[in-house]
């Protein structure tokens, strides 16, 4: 399978895409849930709603995430929300990005940008 | 929904913002996006109340303003990122070959439309935009004297001292040249048998070529010492003259030639692109075939006799206002020194600006019409491509459902349109090569820079690129539409066969009708103006008159009597040619702007008011021989023609109708006298005003002096005959050369041709603008036809149902025609401001008609409506042919 190389071509992911995959790796979420997760992580920019949904649609088209049937609470508002879950290939993509980031961190450490013990 | 009013308003706001996104995104994600924003609102309200809520609103606006359009453009952007060009091109070629009728009609329309555009583009580029071929051409200016404090002349020639003062001024003025152009008979010392020829000669200061920054290609220019009373007489030839008379032989350098009998040594030949023209006080700019220097000292000339054009160069970096100030200062000093402070000012006009000033309004109109034509063309191409895309809707939807990327669809459509555009543009560039040649042949003879107007590879490339751009621009709408067509949507709509793209297509038709109407109204006005010009009565009868000019050179006929005797002999020999009725001679042909001007007084005339500005009247002065008016067909209204000269008789003159009406409103001027240059002449008659400048309106008042009293020398002859004038030319030449083989015969033309030449600008504009307008009408009609035909095809089922339920076919027909007519009506409404603006632009070029002439504009609107209704009616009739039973069975 050349799948691995295909995935590598998609790296690095955009911050919003990685945010989505990170959140969905934990469990199913709707859009606002992903934003809240990103806020909680407290790293840099929180994605705009429009940016987020465009990315969701893109990732869905490419098969990295899928719409979920699950409904958290069956009230009127919740019916309008789209819930998403990560797919197997999506998880592999997130892993590839995470590995890339680990490799970068390692490189940063070797070049003395980060303390060796931290 | 248990929501607070605040959240309800917020929901509405977020819903509104969704319209910034494309519809498919809205359908799929819209509700979720709104809910997410509302979640943010709730948490904002908890945290910070209304202020944070406003923050969420604003950030949602910014977010949607960025992401909405970005999502709309996504297909185009990812198209740029990916793709297999080779395969796309292959597919496009295959598809275009499979639809040869479509391809050929698109390429053909583009070729003709863009070809016309290319011709106008070339004209504008070469005449107005391209810098003149001199060094730093933007720093060259002509200087004129404003005589308006004396008489009605804002743009008068300079005196010799003006030029020398300008040359000495320094400061912002780097240098100055005096120029004077005249016609001389050239004779070749090498080849005495050659027929003498009259050529234009530019007489100038020695530094003309240095000032222009142009040097001869063969030999040299004038040395500073080669001007003035004692300087050797030298001549520089134009490239054309060198080619025509010396076959481009460079051994002519150093050899002599005669100009009006005087010997000159040839020292140089200018390059083929040097077409310097001296701008003129009143007439059109004039070029020359040979360049010589002044045989006198400019500073010693009479400062009050204006005879020179002043050409100056601004110092590099000097601003326009600094230059004007410097020229003004020279003028003020001269006014004080030579005219006793009478307020005669000097001013400068940029050379290129002045050169094109007269044609600029007409070219602007042409350029705008051409741009409008391209707009119609783009809209038309858009409708065609949209129709084609709609025809392939099923294919797109199915291939998308099978996993084809929307990007691929956009890419293929854009590549297809760009290919068509490139082919059409290249065809247009080729067509324009001939188009420009034809246009130059028809263009006014005094069109500035006429000889340089030709297509070149840069313009050809530009037109091809415009074709590509047009194709891509026209393909964007249909391509984006097609990329978003989905199987689901198609199945939904095809149930009623509503079909997609209808709204886009209808808006394109409205645009076409509107732009077409603007073009048509301009075309109509220009045509009416031309018609008005054709009907103008210029004060003479141009048919069956041959004209030519014969200079009677002073070096061969030194005194008045011998010159007049020669003129009489010429007249007699021409009158003897069979078929000739009348022969006359005068110093200036009508419409030639070739008269002299002078102030005259009419002492004792009842029209005098005692105000010197009125009573010293500035008139055109011409000299005529007996028979001139009869030959031109200019009526003598009272009195008689000039008579033969009787020894020591009074000098005779005629005045024109306008002068008589002003100064002798009730009485008869015959027998009264006029004073011109201290000479008193007796008025023997009043003639019709034969127009000197414009066909459609009178010029200055006119005074005709009897030429025999003091001959002008180079008279134009007018020969009225009852034969075809062109057939008589060889006999005229033979008759004159029998008299004297050394006489040059210049400007042999019929008087009809003189009038035609005066009509050239209007004729070309009329042909082009109305051609563009009719082309646009055709395109708009095609667009309309397509929309209605499409509607009939799409609504087959609906129409079948209506018919089956008993609707009368007429009602169905009316419904369809109404759909088209409403688009036309909308187009006409949209066009109103455009028609108004186009009228404002046109106003300056129209003759005898207002730019808002109600009958023309109304007629055009009605004509457009009629053509449009026909374009709707013909395809709509197809609806009547629908057989309900058959259609419903398939459907």
Whole-number Å distance between alpha carbons of B863 and B199: 52
Q: How confident is the model at residue B137 (pLDDT cuts 50, 70, 90)?
A: very high
Which of B29, B34, B69 to mutate to probe the A interface, most A CBs <10 Å? B29
Which of B1, B23, B32 to mutate to probe the A interface, most A CBs <10 Å? B32
| Chain B residues within 8 A of A77 when measuring between CB atoms | 1, 35, 38
Helix (H) or strand (E) holding B703: strand B702-706
Q: How far is B422 from chain A (nearest CA, A)?
A: 34
Quick one: pLDDT at residue B343?
83
Euclidean distance between the first and the last CA atom of chain B, given in angstroms as a whole number? 43
Q: Which long-range contacts (CB under 8 A, 24 or more apart) does B55-60 make?
A: B56/B10, B57/B10, B57/B13, B59/A48, B60/A49, B60/B13, B60/B14, B60/B17
Quick one: pLDDT at residue A75?
53
Q: How far is A50 from chain B (nearest CA, A)?
A: 6
The answer to whether B77 touches B480, Cβ cutoff 8 Å, is no
Answer with the residue of higher pLDDT: B880 or B452. B452
Quick one: pLDDT at residue A77?
54
Whole-number Å distance between alpha carbons of B143 and A31: 75
Unique residue bearing structure tokens 């309800």: B8
Is it the case that residue B407 has pLDDT exceeding 90?
A: no
Answer with the residue of higher pLDDT: B405 or B325. B325
Helix (H) or strand (E) holding B310: strand B309-314
The answer to whether B141 touches B314, Cβ cutoff 8 Å, is yes
Quick one: pLDDT at residue B765?
86
Quick one: pLDDT at residue B359?
85
Helix (H) or strand (E) holding B720: strand B714-721
pLDDT in tens, B48-104: 777 888 888 888 898 888 888 888 777 655 544 455 666 667 777 888 888 888 888
pLDDT in tens, B332-373: 998 888 888 888 899 999 999 999 888 888 888 889 889 988
pLDDT in tens, A70-90: 555 555 455 567 788 898 888
Quick one: pLDDT at residue B648?
65
> Of the ranges B158-167, B181-190, B274-283, which is most confident?
B158-167
Quick one: pLDDT at residue B346?
92
Q: Which of A31, A51, A76 sits opposite B32 (nearest CB)?
A: A31
Quick one: pLDDT at residue B496?
40
pLDDT in tens, B808-825: 888 888 888 888 888 889
Q: How far is A30 from chain B (nearest CA, A)?
A: 8
Percentage of chain A beyond pLDDT 90 is 3
pLDDT in tens, B629-672: 999 999 999 999 998 877 667 889 999 999 999 999 988 899 99
The answer to whether B49 touches B56, Cβ cutoff 8 Å, is no
Mean pLDDT within B868-879: 85
Interface of B with A in 36-95 (CB under 8 A): 36-40, 59-60, 62-64, 66-68, 70-71
pLDDT in tens, B374-403: 988 888 888 888 878 877 777 777 777 776
Q: What is the DSSP string of B525-591?
A: HHHHHHHHHHH---SS--TTEEEEEEE--TTTS-SHHHHHHHHHHHHHHHHTSTTEEEEEEESS-TT
The partner residues of B345 in beta bridges, in order of sequence, read B146
Quick one: pLDDT at residue B813?
86
Is it the case that residue B494 has pLDDT exceeding 60?
A: no
pTM over 0.80: no
Mean pLDDT of chain B, nearest integer: 86
Residue B187's nearest CA partner among B198, B196, B174 is B196
Contact A32 B40 (CB under 8 A): yes
Q: What is the DSSP string of B87-153?
A: HHHHHHHHHHHH-HHHHHHHHHHHHHHHHHHHHHHHHHIIIIISPPSSSSGGGEEEEEEE-TTTSS-
Contact B33 A53 (CB under 8 A): yes
- Which of B327-331, B529-533, B648-652 is the least confident region? B648-652
Percentage of chain B beyond pLDDT 70 is 94
**Cβ-based interface (< 8 Å): residues of A facing B:** 30-32, 35, 48-54, 56-57, 76-77, 80-82
| Chain B residues within 8 A of A37 when measuring between CB atoms | none
Please give the structure tokens belonging to residue A103. Answer: 């490799």
Q: How far is B389 from chain A (nearest CA, A)?
A: 24
Task: Give SS3 for B29.
Answer: helix
Is it the case that residue B157 has pLDDT exceeding 70?
A: yes
Contact A57 B32 (CB under 8 A): no
Which of B67, B69, B71, B400 to mutate to probe the A interface, most A CBs <10 Å? B67
Within 8 A by CB and 6+ apart from B835, the residues are: B517, B518, B521, B857
Mean pLDDT within B164-188: 90
pLDDT in tens, B543-587: 999 999 998 888 888 888 899 999 999 999 999 999 999 999 999
Whole-number Å distance between alpha carbons of B890 and B486: 23
Q: How confident is the model at residue B134 (pLDDT cuts 50, 70, 90)?
A: very high
Please give the structure tokens belonging to residue B451. Answer: 């000889």
């Amino acid at each position: 399978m050349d799948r691995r190389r295909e995935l590598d071509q998609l790296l690095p992911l955009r911050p919003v895409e990685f945010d989505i995959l990170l959140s969905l790796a934990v469990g199913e979420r709707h859009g606002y849930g992903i934003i809240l997760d990103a806020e909680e992580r407290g790293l840099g920019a929180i994605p705009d709603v429009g940016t987020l949904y465009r990315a969701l649609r893109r990732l869905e088209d490419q098969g990295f995430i899928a719409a979920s049937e699950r409904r958290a609470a069956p009230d009127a508002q919740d019916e309008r929300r789209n819930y998403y879950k990560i797919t197997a290939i999506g998880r592999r993509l997130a892993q590839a990005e995470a590995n890339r980031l680990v490799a970068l961190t390692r490189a940063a450490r070797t070049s003395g940008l980060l303390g060796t013990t931290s | 929904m248990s929501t607070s009013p605040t959240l309800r308003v917020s929901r509405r706001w977020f819903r509104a913002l969704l319209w910034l996104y494309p519809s498919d995104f809205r359908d799929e994600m819209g509700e979720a996006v709104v809910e997410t924003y509302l979640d943010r609102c709730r948490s904002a309200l908890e945290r910070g109340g209304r202020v944070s809520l406003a923050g969420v609103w604003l950030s949602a606006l910014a977010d949607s303003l960025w992401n909405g359009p970005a999502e709309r453009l996504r297909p185009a952007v990812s198209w740029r990122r990916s793709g297999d060009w080779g395969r796309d091109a292959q597919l496009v070629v295959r598809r275009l070959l499979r639809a040869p009728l479509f391809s050929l009609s698109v390429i053909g329309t583009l070729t003709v439309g863009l070809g016309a555009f290319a011709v106008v583009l070339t004209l504008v580029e070469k005449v107005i935009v391209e810098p003149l071929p001199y060094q730093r051409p933007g720093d060259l200016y002509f200087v004129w004297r404003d005589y308006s404090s004396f008489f009605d002349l804002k743009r008068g020639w300079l005196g010799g001292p003006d030029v020398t003062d300008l040359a000495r001024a320094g400061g912002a003025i780097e240098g100055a040249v005096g120029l004077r152009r005249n016609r001389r008979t050239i004779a070749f010392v090498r080849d005495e048998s050659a027929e003498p020829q009259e050529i234009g000669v530019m007489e100038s200061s020695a530094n003309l070529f240095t000032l222009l920054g142009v040097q001869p290609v063969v030999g040299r220019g004038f040395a500073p010492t080669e001007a003035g009373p004692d300087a050797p007489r030298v001549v520089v030839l134009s490239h054309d003259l060198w080619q025509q008379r010396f076959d481009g032989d460079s051994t002519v350098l150093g050899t002599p030639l005669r100009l009006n009998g005087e010997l000159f040594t040839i020292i140089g030949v200018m390059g083929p692109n040097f077409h310097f023209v001296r701008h003129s006080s009143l007439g059109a700019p004039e070029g020359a075939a040979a360049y010589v220097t002044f045989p006198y000292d400019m500073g010693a000339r009479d400062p009050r006799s204006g005879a020179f054009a002043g050409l100056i160069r601004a110092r590099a970096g000097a601003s326009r206002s600094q230059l004007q100030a410097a020229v003004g200062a020279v003028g003020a000093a001269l006014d004080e020194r030579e005219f006793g402070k009478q307020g005669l000012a000097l001013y400068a006009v940029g050379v290129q600006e002045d050169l094109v000033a007269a044609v600029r309004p007409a070219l602007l109109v042409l350029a705008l019409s051409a741009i409008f034509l391209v707009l119609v063309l783009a809209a038309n191409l858009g409708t065609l491509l949209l129709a084609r895309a709609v025809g392939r809707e099923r294919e797109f939807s199915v291939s998308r459902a099978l996993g084809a990327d929307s990007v691929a669809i956009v890419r293929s459509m854009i590549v297809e349109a760009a290919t068509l555009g490139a082919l059409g543009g290249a065809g247009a560039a080729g067509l324009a090569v001939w188009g420009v040649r034809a246009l130059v042949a028809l263009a006014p003879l005094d069109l500035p820079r006429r000889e340089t107007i030709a297509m070149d590879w840069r313009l050809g490339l530009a037109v091809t690129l415009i074709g590509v751009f047009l194709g891509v621009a026209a393909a964007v709408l249909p391509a984006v539409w097609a990329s978003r067509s989905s199987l689901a949507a198609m199945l939904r709509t095809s149930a009623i066969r509503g079909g997609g793209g209808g709204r886009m297509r209808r808006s394109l038709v409205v645009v076409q009708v509107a732009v077409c109407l603007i073009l048509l109204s301009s075309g109509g006005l220009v045509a009416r103006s031309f018609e008005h010009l054709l009907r103008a009565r210029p004060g003479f009868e141009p048919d069956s008159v041959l004209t030519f000019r014969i200079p009677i050179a002073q070096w061969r006929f030194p005194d008045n009597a011998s010159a007049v005797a020669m003129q009489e002999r010429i007249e007699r020999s021409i009158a003897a040619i069979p078929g000739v009725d009348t022969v006359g001679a005068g110093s200036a042909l009508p419409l030639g702007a070739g008269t002299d001007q002078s102030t005259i007084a009419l002492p004792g005339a009842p029209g005098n008011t005692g105000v010197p500005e009125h009573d010293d009247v500035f008139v055109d002065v011409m000299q005529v021989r007996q028979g001139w008016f009869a030959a031109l067909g200019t009526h003598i209204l009272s009195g008689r023609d000039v008579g033969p000269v009787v020894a020591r008789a009074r000098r005779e003159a005629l005045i024109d109708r306008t002068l008589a009406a002003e100064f002798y409103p009730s009485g008869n001027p015959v027998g009264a006298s006029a004073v011109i240059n201290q000479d008193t002449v007796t008025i023997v008659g009043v003639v019709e005003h034969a127009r000197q400048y414009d066909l459609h309106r009178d010029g200055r008042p006119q005074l005709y002096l009897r030429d025999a009293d003091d001959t002008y020398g180079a008279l134009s002859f007018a020969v009225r005959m009852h034969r075809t004038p062109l057939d008589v030319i060889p006999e005229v030449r033979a008759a004159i050369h029998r008299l004297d083989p050394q006489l040059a015969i210049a400007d042999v033309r019929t008087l009809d041709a003189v009038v035609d030449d005066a009509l050239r600008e209007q004729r070309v504009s009329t042909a082009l603008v109305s051609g563009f307008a009719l082309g646009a009408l055709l395109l708009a009609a095609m667009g309309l036809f397509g929309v209605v035909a499409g509607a009939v095809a799409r609504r087959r089922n609906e129409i079948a149902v209506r018919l089956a339920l008993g609707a009368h076919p007429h009602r169905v027909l009316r419904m369809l025609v109404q759909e088209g007519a409403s688009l036309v009506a909308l187009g006409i409404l949209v066009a109103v401001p455009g028609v108004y603006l186009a009228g404002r632009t046109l106003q300056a070029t129209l003759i005898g008609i207002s730019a808002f002439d109600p009958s023309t504009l109304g007629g055009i609107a009605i004509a457009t409506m009629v053509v449009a209704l026909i374009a709707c009616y013909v395809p709509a009739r197809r609806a009547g042919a629908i057989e309900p039973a058959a259609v419903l069975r398939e459907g």
